[in-house]
């Protein structure tokens, strides 16, 4: 690794002390004079037409200031997906509609003096529903004769994307590279199977929160917990039919996002209520609402097939996918694209066939979730890899190493498919996956454990180990753009203004490290202000593993532009040509004469003395490539054959994120993602009744991992150097969330001989599988 | 209704409706460091110390706070002079989004008061009531150990 001063160091997260000491930094940590409280009326039906709605009584209730429903707001078809324009998601959503499509769909909204009055007003709204047959299962939804969920004539895509709403198909995509049939004919061993992955809520501890108000100049200000401030500004302006210049979106500290806040879930309603009442309006989801009326990870049905030669080389891969979009298509196609585009380029295999459909159903809508399709796509692939290794009599470690990409490789999928559509050809310039596998195997003691647990075991608790590898490409190339501005202050410090959105990940810190490294200054001299559409330049927002890589490059370019200006002023001050000069520890010095001038002198000179100007710059970076990050996952499980319970005592993950700009924060990303994955695999589950109602919308019955569930997670960062990224960095946010689901399934197989192809691995599912096995 | 109690060492009067929970009353009185993650007793981010013991403030009626001593994260330290536990959380990378952090720190504080040198198990048990979705808990557990060492070192 190259020698850096600030990059690669575990710099303390710049907002850690303010957060740890409880400063009021989040969206809802303010009160405003005259603030109203908003509540939303939810559909009790999975599918129904609203024959009529009467809001007059609610409007008359003292203390109520506005009631919204389809009758009194403009009908603007849009998508809630916070994606770059033009969005690759269908415009199938109106702020309020005459039809409801899932239990928890919006019917009306109220703003009132107190939350209690707002709640009472909801009860005064009279809705006449005409219930319609509902369809909850994606395989049923695409059958002939299924109820049509989007029968409104005005739903549409703004991009040429194949879909068929009459058949509940929100998107259809397919691809073939190489010659799949030939690859299959060449195969000497073939494994295949049907798989199912399940929905998952993001469970940010801070629910969706928004405060909107109209400022004295008549502009709408939206303070909101979002990953995508600029997209939210655009979508809210669209929904309210006001110019974008009338809208300002401010992102304070965010209490977790994980993709859940990459959609415009509540800002349109909150903004409309503020716009109508000219009063500040607060809308904060309850936990129950978060479960029932936000987005989830798409559940998918997947059919996988892999063929290999006897020597272990893969010859063909087939993946067919049916994704459950839920009631609306936000992120539907792009997530499913990534089951191919960001999942399969991990494998050294040219002959690939992939077909995917996205089905509307009358369930909670799917959306963006950390992993974004890779979580689902790698599940069948990694289990089939484990089966193949067994059939071929190879150790999984050797088998994965043989069949995963290396530095210098390319992959036909890169060019053919990206997240949105066509991809870009790419050579893999950085990949330390082979070392990741070796290092993790060693720390985990794979060989020893694999051999030991392969021996016959007795007693109720059986042990097993499993492993998988994952890749996840950074950014949506050619579409994602980030920018940064910076200016120099009198004392030689800098304001760094970025549209990038720190969700608690530490992005502000990482980006200030990149800035500080370039100018050779300490991080303390970088004052970060992030994500305010009035004051910071555009950034696509925090998604697609793009912040460190893409926003990082924008910051690097900005710092370099600033450096050029500084050198110019210094050259005049020192009377030496620029070529002789370099920045050094908050100053500029001459390589020849050794003369030096400090940054604060340069700043003052440029402000007050001669040829005055503000040292400042704005630069942008549009991502040309989607460099992949990699991770190798090793897990140990204990399966209780009497209770069906699965425990994870140890998890080792080795990650290649290029240069880790901040190793401590990078480890934190890996660990948080791994535990999220374990929690998804073992505990989390939406329980539905036959009418499409979620039966467990609470942390009491939808369980997520606690300190007592968390295994020891050992994280190993194995650096590589990505030439297209800032100081060699790639991304770290998502790649690790995808490993636990298949790794645990493989480990359970090793422990007790059952292949779990459907998640989650709850005690009853494990017991059923054990019973089935003992019968056969 | 109105009651008197001591919050972070200061005598305070709290006004509220009889049915209101301590969480919402504290937030309305400006104690925003007490977070609302579910309002139904399952996530723990609303934890405060009542007479030194961790309590989920969303489960406690505000009326029950009469005469009690309440401590929140802001009562332990400030950005200018953070408590050693707050410092350790920051140093160890235990703060990601920070939404669970005030509650985690209060639980850790209660633990270290009773058990100055806790084991991994004891730390996990003490923090079990607070959910964190960001960190995977590894660095939080480490931070509590670091804090214990630093506090122990100071005491010697
Ligand atoms: S807010 Fe009190 S336990 Fe969740
Ligand atoms: S740091 Fe985000 S919930 Fe714990």
Instruction: List all residues 6 or more positions away from A740 whose beta carbon is below 8 Å from its beta carbon.
Output: A633, A635, A651, A674, A677, A678, A680, A681
Domains belonging to chain B, first-starting first, are 2-75 (3.10.20.30), 84-155 (1.10.150.120)
For B103-117, what is the mean pLDDT? 98
| A404 DSSP 8-state letter | B
Statement: residue A720 has pLDDT above 90 = yes
Statement: residue A222 has pLDDT above 80 = yes
- The residue whose CA has the least distance to atom 4 of ligand 2 is B132
Which of A28, A255, A287 has the CB atom closest to B97's CB atom? A255
The number of angstroms, rounded, from the C-alpha of A446 to the middle of its chain's C-alpha atoms is 31
| pLDDT value at residue A1 | 53
Q: How far apart are CA A626 and CA A618, in angstroms?
A: 23
Nearest one of A480, A478, A485, A474 to A531, comparing CA atoms: A485
Q: How far apart are CA A37 and CA A65, in angstroms?
A: 10
Q: How far apart are CA A161 and CA B96, in angstroms?
A: 38
Interval A385-404: pLDDT, tens: 999 999 999 999 999 999 99
The answer to whether B97 and B34 have CB atoms below 8 angstroms apart is: no
* Mean model confidence pLDDT for chain B: 97
For A332-346, what is the mean pLDDT? 97
* Mean model confidence pLDDT for chain A: 97
DSSP H or E segment with residue A283: strand A281-284
Contact list, B29 vs chain A (CB under 8 Å) = none
Chain B interface includes A217 (CB < 8 A): no
Q: How far apart are CA A717 and CA B149, in angstroms?
A: 27
Distance in angstroms between the alpha carbons of the first and the last residue of chain A: 54
The reply to whether ligand 1 has any atom less than 6 angstroms from the CB of B22 is no
| pLDDT value at residue A151 | 98
Chain B interface includes A637 (CB < 8 A): no
The answer to whether A642 and A460 have CB atoms below 8 angstroms apart is: yes
Across the interface, do B96 and A23 touch by the CB < 8 Å criterion?
A: no
Q: Would you place residue A177 in the very low, low, confident or very high pLDDT band (cuts 50, 70, 90)? A: very high
Rounded percentage of chain A residues whose pLDDT exceeds 70: 100
| pLDDT value at residue A584 | 97
Residues in chain B: 156
Residue with tokens 């590279």: A177
The answer to whether A703 and A697 have CB atoms below 8 angstroms apart is: no
The answer to whether A562 and A497 have CB atoms below 8 angstroms apart is: no
Q: Would you place residue A774 in the very low, low, confident or very high pLDDT band (cuts 50, 70, 90)? A: confident
Instruction: Give me the residues paired with residue A111 across strands.
Output: A38, A66
Q: How far apart are CA A629 and CA A546, in angstroms?
A: 11
The two structure tokens encoding residue B86: 């707050």
**How many other C-beta atoms can be found within 10 angstroms of the C-beta atom of residue A645?**
17
| pLDDT value at residue A422 | 87
Across the interface, do A21 and B79 touch by the CB < 8 Å criterion?
A: yes
Point out the ligand nearest to the CA of residue B129. Answer: 1
Write the CA distances from A564 to A196, A577, A590, A616, integer angstroms. 55, 12, 15, 10
Q: How far apart are CA B58 and CA A417, in angstroms?
A: 49
- The residue whose CA has the least distance to atom 3 of ligand 1 is B41
Q: How far apart are CA A558 and CA A571, in angstroms?
A: 20
For A213-231, what is the mean pLDDT? 98
Nearest one of A266, A270, A264 to A38, comparing CA atoms: A270
The answer to whether A195 and A302 have CB atoms below 8 angstroms apart is: yes
The answer to whether B55 and B47 have CB atoms below 8 angstroms apart is: yes
Statement: residue A277 has pLDDT above 70 = yes
**How many other C-beta atoms can be found within 10 angstroms of the C-beta atom of residue A278?**
12
| B40 DSSP 8-state letter | S
The answer to whether B108 and B139 have CB atoms below 8 angstroms apart is: no
Nearest one of A658, A668, A632, A649 to A440, comparing CA atoms: A632
The answer to whether A128 and A50 have CB atoms below 8 angstroms apart is: yes
> Separation of B129 CA from ligand 1 center, angstroms?
10
Statement: residue A510 has pLDDT above 70 = yes
Statement: residue A710 has pLDDT above 80 = yes
Q: Which of A665, A707, A708, A714 would you mutate first to test chain B, the one with the most B CBs within 10 A? A: A707
- B-facing residues of A in 648-667 (CB < 8 A) are 664-665, 667
Cα-flanking dihedrals φ and ψ of residue A729, to 5°?
Answer: -85, 150
For B60-81, what is the mean pLDDT? 98
The answer to whether A430 and A722 have CB atoms below 8 angstroms apart is: yes
Contact list, B131 vs chain A (CB under 8 Å) = 203, 205, 699, 704, 706
For A657-685, what is the mean pLDDT? 98
The answer to whether A263 and A334 have CB atoms below 8 angstroms apart is: no
Residue with tokens 């109508």: A276
Rounded percentage of chain A residues whose pLDDT exceeds 90: 98
The answer to whether A102 and A692 have CB atoms below 8 angstroms apart is: yes
Instruction: Give me the residues paired with residue A496 across strands.
Output: A486, A528
| pLDDT value at residue A46 | 98
- The residue whose CA has the least distance to atom 3 of ligand 2 is B132
Point out the ligand nearest to the CA of residue B23. Answer: 1
Segments in A445-488 forming alpha helices (H) = 446-454
Q: How far apart are CA A511 and CA A585, in angstroms?
A: 19
| pLDDT value at residue A708 | 98
Tell me the Ramachandran region of residue A314: left when phi exceeds 0, alpha when psi lies from -120 to 50, beta otherwise.
beta
Q: Is the dihedral of CA A71, A77, A83, A86 positive or negative?
A: negative
| pLDDT value at residue B156 | 59
Chain B interface includes A202 (CB < 8 A): yes
| pLDDT value at residue A465 | 98
Interval A550-565: pLDDT, tens: 999 999 999 999 999 9
Contact list, B134 vs chain A (CB under 8 Å) = 256, 504, 668, 672
Instruction: List all residues 6 or more positions away from A74 whose beta carbon is below 8 Å from its beta carbon.
Output: A95, A239, A240, A241
Interval A283-314: pLDDT, tens: 999 999 999 999 999 999 999 999 999 999 99
| pLDDT value at residue A355 | 98
The reply to whether ligand 1 has any atom less than 6 angstroms from the CB of B58 is yes
Instruction: List all residues 6 or more positions away from A620 whose beta carbon is below 8 Å from its beta carbon.
Output: A481, A482, A483, A537, A538, A554, A557
The answer to whether B128 and A707 have CB atoms below 8 angstroms apart is: yes
Sheet with A209-214, side-by-side order of all strands: A64-68, A106-112, A36-42, A281-284, A209-214, A220-224, A247-250
Packing angle of the helix pair B138-155, B84-91 (nearest 10 deg):
140
For B127-154, what is the mean pLDDT? 96
| pLDDT value at residue A225 | 98
3-state secondary structure of A434: helix
Chain B interface includes A713 (CB < 8 A): yes
Q: How far apart are CA A116 and CA A121, in angstroms?
A: 9
> What pTM was computed for the model?
0.98
Work out the burial of residue B154: count CB atoms within 10 Å of its CB; fewer than 13 is exposed, 13-18 middle, 19 or more buried: exposed
Instruction: List all residues 6 or more positions away from A664 whose beta carbon is below 8 Å from its beta carbon.
Output: A10, B92, B93, B139
Interval A628-667: pLDDT, tens: 999 999 999 999 999 999 999 999 999 999 999 999 999 9
Q: How far apart are CA A378 and CA A187, in angstroms?
A: 21
Contact list, A547 vs chain B (CB under 8 Å) = none
Statement: residue A41 has pLDDT above 70 = yes
Instruction: List all residues 6 or more positions away from A738 whose beta carbon is below 8 Å from its beta carbon.
Output: A371, A374, A375, A378, A470, A472, A631, A677
Q: Would you place residue A3 in the very low, low, confident or very high pLDDT band (cuts 50, 70, 90)? A: confident
Q: How far apart are CA A354 and CA A296, in angstroms?
A: 24
Q: Would you place residue A421 in the very low, low, confident or very high pLDDT band (cuts 50, 70, 90)? A: confident
Domains belonging to chain A, first-starting first, are 16-23+480-622 (3.30.365.10), 36-132+205-256+261-293 (3.90.1170.50), 296-428+439-468+628-775 (3.30.365.10)
3-state secondary structure of A624: coil
Q: Which of B138, B139, B145 would you mutate first to test chain A, the one with the most A CBs within 10 A? A: B138
């Amino acid at each position: 690794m190259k020698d850096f001063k600030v990059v690669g160091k575990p710099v303390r997260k710049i907002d850690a002390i303010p957060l740890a000491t409880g400063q009021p930094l989040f969206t809802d940590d303010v009160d405003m004079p005259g603030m109203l409280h908003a509540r939303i009326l939810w559909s009790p039906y999975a599918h129904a037409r609203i024959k009529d709605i009467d809001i007059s009584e609610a409007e008359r209730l003292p203390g109520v200031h506005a009631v919204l429903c389809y009758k009194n707001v403009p009908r603007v078809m849009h998508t809630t997906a916070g994606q770059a324009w033009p969005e690759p998601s269908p415009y199938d959503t109106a702020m309020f509609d005459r039809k409801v499509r899932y239990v928890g769909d919006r019917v009306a909204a109220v703003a009132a003096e107190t939350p209690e009055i707002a709640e009472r007003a909801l009860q005064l709204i009279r809705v006449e529903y005409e219930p319609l047959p509902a369809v909850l299962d994606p395989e049923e939804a695409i059958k002939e004769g299924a109820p049509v969920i989007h029968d409104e004539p005005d739903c549409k895509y703004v991009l040429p994307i194949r879909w068929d709403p009459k058949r509940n198909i929100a998107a259809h995509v397919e691809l073939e590279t190489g010659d799949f049939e030939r690859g299959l004919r060449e195969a000497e061993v073939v494994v295949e199977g049907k798989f199912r992955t399940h929905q998952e809520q993001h469970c940010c501890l801070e629910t969706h929160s928004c405060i909107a108000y109209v400022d004295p100049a008549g502009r709408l200000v939206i303070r909101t917990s979002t990953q995508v401030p600029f997209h939210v500004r655009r979508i809210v302006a669209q929904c309210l039919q006001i110019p974008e210049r009338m809208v300002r979106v401010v992102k304070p500290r965010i209490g977790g996002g994980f993709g859940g806040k990459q959609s415009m879930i509540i800002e349109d309603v909150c903004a409309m209520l503020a716009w109508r009442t000219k009063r500040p309006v607060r809308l904060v989801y309850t936990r129950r609402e978060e479960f029932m009326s936000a987005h989830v990870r798409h559940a998918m049905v997947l059919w996988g097939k892999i063929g290999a030669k006897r020597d272990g080389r893969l010859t063909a891969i087939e993946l067919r996918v049916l994704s459950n979009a839920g009631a609306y298509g936000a992120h539907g196609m792009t997530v499913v694209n990534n089951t191919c585009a960001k999942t399969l380029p991990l494998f050294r295999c040219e002959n690939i066939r992939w077909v995917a459909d996205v089905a509307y159903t009358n369930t909670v809508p799917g959306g963006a979730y950390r992993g974004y399709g890779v979580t689902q796509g790698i599940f069948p692939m990694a289990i089939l890899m484990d089966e193949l290794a067994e059939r071929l009599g190879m150790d999984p470690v050797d088998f994965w190493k043989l069949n995963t990409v290396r530095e210098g490789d390319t992959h036909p999928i890169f060019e053919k498919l990206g997240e949105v559509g066509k991809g870009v050809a790419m050579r893999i310039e950085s990949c330390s996956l082979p070392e990741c596998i070796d290092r993790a195997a060693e720390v985990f003691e794979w060989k020893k454990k694999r051999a030991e647990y392969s021996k016959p075991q007795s007693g109720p608790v059986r042990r097993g180990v499993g492993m998988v590898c994952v890749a996840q490409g950074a950014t949506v190339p050619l579409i994602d753009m980030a920018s940064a501005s910076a200016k120099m202050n009198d004392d030689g410090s800098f304001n760094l203004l970025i549209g990038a959105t720190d969700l608690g990940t530490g992005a502000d810190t990482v980006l200030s490290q990149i800035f500080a490294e370039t100018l050779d200054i300490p991080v303390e001299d970088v004052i970060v202000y992030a994500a305010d559409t009035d004051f910071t330049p555009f950034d696509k927002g925090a998604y697609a593993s793009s912040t460190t890589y893409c926003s990082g490059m924008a910051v690097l370019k900005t710092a370099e532009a600033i450096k050029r200006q500084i050198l110019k002023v210094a050259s005049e001050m020192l009377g030496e040509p620029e070529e002789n000069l370099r920045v050094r520890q908050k100053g500029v010095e001459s390589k020849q004469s050794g003369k030096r001038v400090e940054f604060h002198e340069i700043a003052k000179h440029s402000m007050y003395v001669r040829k005055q100007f503000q040292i400042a710059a704005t630069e942008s970076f549009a991502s040309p490539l989607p460099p992949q990050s990699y991770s190798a996952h090793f897990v140990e499980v204990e399966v209780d054959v009497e209770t069906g319970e699965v425990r994870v005592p140890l998890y080792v993950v080795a990650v290649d994120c290029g240069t880790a700009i901040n190793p401590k924060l990078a480890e934190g990303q890996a660990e948080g993602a791994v535990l999220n994955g374990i929690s998804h695999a073992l505990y989390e589950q939406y329980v539905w009744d036959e009418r499409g109602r979620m039966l467990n919308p609470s942390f009491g019955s939808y369980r997520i991992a606690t300190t007592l569930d968390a295994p020891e997670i050992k994280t190993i960062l194995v650096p590589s150097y990505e030439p297209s990224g800032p100081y060699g960095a790639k991304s770290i946010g998502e790649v690790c969330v995808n490993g636990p689901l298949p790794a645990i399934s493989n480990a359970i197989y090793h422990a007790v001989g059952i292949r779990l192809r459907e998640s989650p691995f709850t005690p009853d599912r494990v017991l059923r599988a054990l019973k089935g096995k003992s019968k056969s | 209704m109105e009651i008197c109690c001591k919050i972070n060492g200061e005598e305070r009067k709290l006004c509220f409706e009889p049915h209101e929970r301590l969480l919402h009353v504290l937030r309305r009185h400006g104690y925003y460091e007490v977070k609302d993650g579910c309002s139904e007793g399952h996530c723990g981010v609303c934890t405060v110390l009542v007479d030194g013991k961790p309590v989920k403030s969303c489960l406690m009626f505000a009326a029950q706070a009469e005469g009690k001593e309440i401590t929140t994260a802001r009562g332990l330290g400030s950005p200018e002079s953070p408590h050693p536990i707050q410092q350790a959380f920051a140093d160890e990378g235990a703060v990601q989004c920070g939404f669970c952090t005030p509650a985690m720190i209060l639980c850790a504080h209660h633990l270290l008061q009773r058990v100055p040198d806790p084991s991994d198990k004891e730390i996990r048990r003490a923090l079990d009531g607070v959910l964190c979705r960001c960190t995977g808990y590894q660095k939080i557990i480490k931070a509590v150990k670091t804090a214990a060492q630093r506090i122990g070192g100071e005491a010697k």
